[in-house]
């Protein structure tokens, strides 16, 4: 889930940025350099610092070259939530499963969670093929996934690990569940009963 947070704190700015003329831009640049791409325990992955407003005069601290400003700023973050359904792109496929890009991070789908049947790995095309249905899912396919496991970032672990499934109804490649609707409805021109 994408979320926007508003924070208030003292932000340190390097002297060469602080004396460049535009304090707001200097603070914004400092925040972006420090925060974007970082994982926060409570907010998730910080994607972008949207805006920053300096709310007072800067202060100097002894033995510290930075100038600190009281700042209210907004960040956009991505926090994966259990049971959330997302769309992503298969970025890699290996014998043990597939990695799905969810935007700012990747999740992992174990080979047993790719479809409602056993699937064989095809090395040449880096894809999986269902043994019964012949369905194929591989690199660059767009898929719908459900988040089943989230290992949050902590001070010891700087990454978020996300477990995914595609075995539930209406997950996987879009054509898989449109096929089911057509079969249930008697083909393209049929009516559902």
- 146-162 pLDDT tens trace: 999 988 765 555 577 89
Per-residue exposure over 143-178, b if at least 16 CB sit within 10 Å of its own CB, e if not: bbbbbbebeebeeeeeebebbbbbeeeebbbeebee
Considering the domain delimited by 85-184, tell me its CATH architecture.
Answer: Beta Barrel (2.40)
CATH architecture of 2-78: 2-Layer Sandwich (3.30)
- Would you say the CATH fold of 85-184 matches that of 2-78? no
Beta carbons within 8 Å of 74's beta carbon, 6+ residues apart: 4, 5, 6, 7, 49, 50, 51, 52
Q: Is 70 exceeded by the pLDDT of residue 124?
A: yes
Cα–Cα distance for residue pair 5/74, rounded to 1 Å = 6
Residue 87 has pLDDT above 90, yes or no: yes
Instruction: Tokens 């095309």: give the residue.
Output: 125
| Higher-confidence position of 134 and 180 | 134
Give the pLDDT mean for 169-185: 76
The model carries a pTM of 0.75
**What's residue 191's pLDDT?**
47
Higher pLDDT, 32 or 193: 32
pLDDT digits (tens, 9 = 90+) for 17-63: 878 778 889 999 999 999 998 888 888 889 999 999 999 898 999 99
What CA–CA distance (Å, rounded) separates 107 from 103? 10
Could you tell me what percent of the chain has a pLDDT over 70? 89
Mean pLDDT, rounded, of the chain: 87
pLDDT at 190 over 50: no
Return the minimum-mean-pLDDT range out of 15-19, 57-61, 82-86, 142-146.
15-19
Residue 38 confidence (pLDDT): 87
DSSP states along the chain? -EEEEEEEEEEEE-HHHHTTS-HHHHHHHHHHHHHTT-EETTTEEEEEEEEEEE-S--EE-TT---EEEEEEEEEEEE---TT-EEEEEEEEEETTEEEEE-SSSEEEEEGGGSSSS-EEEETTTTEEEETTT--EEETT-EEEEEEEEEE---SS--S-EEEEE--STT-EEHHHHHHHHHHHTTSSS----
Judged by average pLDDT, the poorest of 73-82, 110-119, 156-165 is 156-165
Name the residue ranges covered by the structural domains of the chain.
2-78, 85-184
Q: What is the pLDDT of residue 193?
A: 39
């Amino acid at each position: 889930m994408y979320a926007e947070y508003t924070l208030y704190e003292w932000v340190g700015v390097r002297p060469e940025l602080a004396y460049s003329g535009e304090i707001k831009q200097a603070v914004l640049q400092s925040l972006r350099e420090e925060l974007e791409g970082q994982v926060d325990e409570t907010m998730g992955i910080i994607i972008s610092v949207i805006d920053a407003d300096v709310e007072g005069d800067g202060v100097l601290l002894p033995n510290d070259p930075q100038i600190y400003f009281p700042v209210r700023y907004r960040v956009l973050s991505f926090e994966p939530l259990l049971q959330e359904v997302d769309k992503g792109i298969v970025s890699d496929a290996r014998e043990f499963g597939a990695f799905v890009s969810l935007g700012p991070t990747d999740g992992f789908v174990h080979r047993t969670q790719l479809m409602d049947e056993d699937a064989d790995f095809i090395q040449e095309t880096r894809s999986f093929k269902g043994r019964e249905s012949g369905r194929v899912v591989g690199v660059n396919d767009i898929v719908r996934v459900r988040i089943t496991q989230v290992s949050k970032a902590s001070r010891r672990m700087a990454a978020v690990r996300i477990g995914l499934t595609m075995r539930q109804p209406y997950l996987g490649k879009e054509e898989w569940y449109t096929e089911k609707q057509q079969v249930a409805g008697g083909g393209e021109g049929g009516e559902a009963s």
